[in-house]
Amino acid sequence: MNKTCRIVNLQDEYSQLFKENLSLLENGAPKRMNETRTKAFESFIDKGIPSNKVEEYKYTNLQPYFKGSFDIAFDSKAAINGSADKFNCGVPNLDTYNIFLINGWFAQQDEASALPDGVIIGSIREKANEHPELFEKHYNSNAPVDSDAMAAMNTAFAQDGAFIYIPKGIVVDKPIQLVNIMTGDNDRLVFQRNLVIVEDNAQAKVMLCDHTISPQKFVINNLTEVFAGENSVFDIYNIQNQHNLTTQVSGMYIKQKKHSNVLSNSLTLHSGVTRNNIRVNMDDEHCESHVYGLYLSDKNQHVDNYSFIDHAKPHCQSFELFKGVMDDSASAAFTGRVLVQPDAQQTNAYQSNNNLLLTDNAKINSKPQLEIYADDVKCSHGATVGQLDDEAMFYLRARGINENEGRILLMFAFAYEVIEKIRVEPLKENIRSLVEKRFRGEFDKCDSCVVCGQQGTSVSCL
Amino acid sequence: MLVIKDLHAKIDDKEILRGINLEVKPGEVHAIMGPNGSGKSTLSSVLAGNEKFDVSEGNVSFKGKDLLDLAPEDRAREGLFLSFQYPVEIPGVSMVNFMRTAVNEHRKYREEDPYSASEFLKLMREKKKLVEIDSNLTNRSVNEGFSGGEKKKNEIFQMAMLEPKLAILDETDSGLDIDALRIVANGVNKLKSPETSTIVITHYQRLLDYIVPDYVHVLYKGRIVKSAGKELAHELEEKGYDWIKKEFED
Strand B90-94 relative to strand A68-73, pairing: unpaired
What is the reported pLDDT for A91?
Answer: 55
Q: Mark out chain A residues that contact chain B at CB-CB < 8 A.
A: 389-392, 394-403, 405, 409-410, 412-417
pTM reported for the whole predicted model:
0.87
User: Could you tell me which residues come within 8 angstroms of residue A87 by beta carbon, excluding any fewer than 6 positions away?
Assistant: A100, A107, A108, A179, A181, A454
Helix (H, G, I), strand (E, B) or coil at B179: helix
- As a whole number, mean pLDDT of residues B114-142 equals 89
Query: Could you give the percent of chain B with pLDDT greater than 90?
Result: 68
Of B238, B207, B219, B87, residue with least CA distance to B159: B87
- Determine whether the interchain pair B162/A399 forms a contact, defined as Cβ–Cβ distance below 8 Å: yes
B77/A400 touch (CB, cutoff 8 Å), yes or no: yes
Distance, in Å, from the CA atom of A112 to the CA atom of A165, rounded to the nearest integer, reads: 13
Q: Which of B41, B75, B105, B140 to mutate to test the interface with A (most CBs of A within 10 A)?
A: B105
> With 90 as the cut, is the pLDDT of residue B244 above it?
no
pLDDT of residue A461: 42
Cα separation of the two ends of chain A: 28
The amino acid occupying position B85 is Q
Mean pLDDT of the region B7-22: 93
- In chain A, residues with a C-beta closer than 8 Å to the C-beta of B77 are 400
Q: What is the pLDDT of residue B236?
A: 87
> CB distance A398–B102 less than 8 Å?
no
Judging contacts by C-beta atoms under 8 Å, the chain B residues touching residue A390 are 52
Q: To the nearest whole angstrom, how far is the Cα of A104 from the nearest Cα of chain B?
A: 37
The answer to whether the Cβ–Cβ distance between B76 and A392 falls below 8 Å is no
B2-92+164-248 fold: Rossmann fold (3.40.50)
Residues A399, B158: C-beta atoms closer than 8 Å: yes
Neighbours of B32 (CB within 10 A): 26
Contacts of B109 in chain A (CB under 8 A): 400
Which residues, in sequence order, are CB contacts of A439 under 8 Å at separation 6+? A296, A325, A407, A408, A411, A412
Contacts of B190 (CB under 8 A, 6+ apart): B130, B131
Q: Sheet harboring A203-212: ordered strands across?
A: A105-109, A97-102, A176-182, A203-212, A233-241, A261-270, A288-297, A317-326, A348-357, A378-386
pLDDT at B155 over 70: yes
What is the residue-wise DSSP string for A393-413? HHHHHTTT--HHHHHHHHHHH
Q: Chain A contacts of B84, Cβ < 8 Å?
A: 395, 398
Band of residue B195 on the pLDDT scale cut at 50, 70, 90: very high
Query: Is the CB of B101 less than 8 angstroms away from the CB of A417?
Result: no
Residue A452: what pLDDT? 44
CB contact under 8 A, B98 and A410: no
* pLDDT confidence of residue B239: 86
| Rounded CA separation A298/B128 (Å) | 40
Q: Which helix (H) or strand (E) holds A112?
A: none
Which tens digit of pLDDT belongs to each residue from A76-135?
A: 999 987 775 555 555 556 788 989 999 999 998 877 668 899 999 999 999 999 999 999
More confident residue, B179 or A120: A120
Give yes or no for a contact between A239 and A450, defined as CB atoms under 8 angstroms apart: yes
Chain B residues closer than 8 Å to A410 by CB = 90, 93
Contact A256, A283 (CB under 8 A): yes
Predicted confidence at residue B245, as pLDDT, reads 82
* Contact call for A394 and B50, based on CB within 8 A: yes
- Asked if the Cβ–Cβ distance from B87 to A396 is below 8 Å, we say no
pLDDT the model gives residue A35: 96
Distances (CA, A) of B81 to A331, B78, B154, B159, B196: 40, 9, 13, 7, 11
Question: Which strands form B54-62's sheet, in the order they lie side by side?
Answer: B14-24, B2-11, B54-62, B65-66
- pLDDT value at residue A446: 45
Among the partner-chain residues B52, B92, B98, the one whose CB lies closest to the CB of A417 is: B92
The arithmetic mean of pLDDT across residues B108-132, rounded, is 92
Contacts of A400 in chain B (CB under 8 A): 73, 76-77, 102, 105-106, 109, 162
Taking an 8 Å cut-off on Cβ atoms, the answer to whether A398 and B84 are in contact is yes
How many CB atoms are located within 10 Å of the residue A8 CB? 9
pLDDT of the residue at A459: 40
Inter-chain contacts counted by CB atoms under 8 A, chains A and B: 77
Q: With an 8 Å Cβ cutoff, are A403 and B49 in contact?
A: no
For residue A392, list chain B residues with Cβ-Cβ distance below 8 A: 88, 90
CA dihedral sign, ordered B232, B233, B235, B236? positive
| H or E element in which residue B86 lies | none
Q: What is the pLDDT of residues A104-120, one digit of tens each?
A: 999 988 776 688 999 99
Q: What is the distance between the terminal CA atoms of chain B, rounded to a whole angstrom?
A: 32
Cα angle A124, A126, A127; round to 5: 65
Instruction: Inspect the interface and report whether the beta carbons of A396 and B90 lie closer than 8 Å.
Output: yes
Nearest CA in chain B to A416: B92
Return the pLDDT at A88. Answer: 54
Closest CA–CA distance from residue B51 to any residue of chain A (Å)? 8
pLDDT in tens, B62-81: 999 999 999 999 999 999 99
Beta strands across the sheet bearing B215-220: B80-83, B166-170, B197-202, B29-33, B215-220, B223-228
Closest Cα partner for A317 from A378, A229, A228? A378
The ipTM value here is: 0.95
What residue of B is the nearest CA neighbor of A397? Answer: B73
How many angstroms separate the CA of residue A398 from the nearest CA in chain B? Answer: 5
Q: Residue B102: list chain A partners with CB under 8 A.
A: 396, 399-401
Closest to A366 (Cα-Cα) out of A409, A321, A336, A330:
A336
Residues in chain A with CB shorter than 8 Å from the CB of B76 are 397-400
How far is the CA of B151 from the CAs of A8, A401, B60, B102, B176, in angstroms? 62, 19, 29, 18, 10
Strand positions, DSSP E, chain B: 2-11, 14-24, 29-33, 54-62, 65-66, 80-83, 90-94, 141-142, 166-170, 197-202, 215-220, 223-228
d(CA A366, CA A3): 39
> For B47, which residue in chain A has the nearest alpha carbon?
A398
The residue among B132 and A462 whose pLDDT is bigger is B132
- Please enumerate residues of B whose Cβ is less than 8 A from a Cβ of A: 48-52, 71-73, 75-77, 82, 84, 87-88, 90-93, 97-98, 101-102, 105-106, 109, 141, 158, 162
Strands A273-282 and B29-33: unpaired
Contact (CB, 8 A) for A370 and A381: yes
Contact predicate A225/A138, CB 8 Å: yes
Q: pLDDT below 70 — which residues of chain A?
A: 84-93, 112-113, 443-462
CB contact under 8 A, B88 and A412: no
Q: Kindly determine whether residue A409 and residue B72, on different chains, have CB atoms separated by under 8 Å.
A: no
Element (H, E) at B190: helix B178-191
Chain-chain contact of A400 with B141 (C-beta, under 8 angstroms): no
With 0-12 CB in 10 A as exposed, 13-18 as middle and 19+ as buried, what is A213?
Answer: buried
Give the H/E segment covering residue A90.
none
Chain B residue numbers touching A403 (CB-CB < 8 A):
71, 73
The answer, yes or no, to whether residue B165 has pLDDT greater than 70, is yes
Interaxial angle between packed helices B178-191 and B117-131, expressed in degrees from 0 to 180 and rounded to the nearest 10: 120
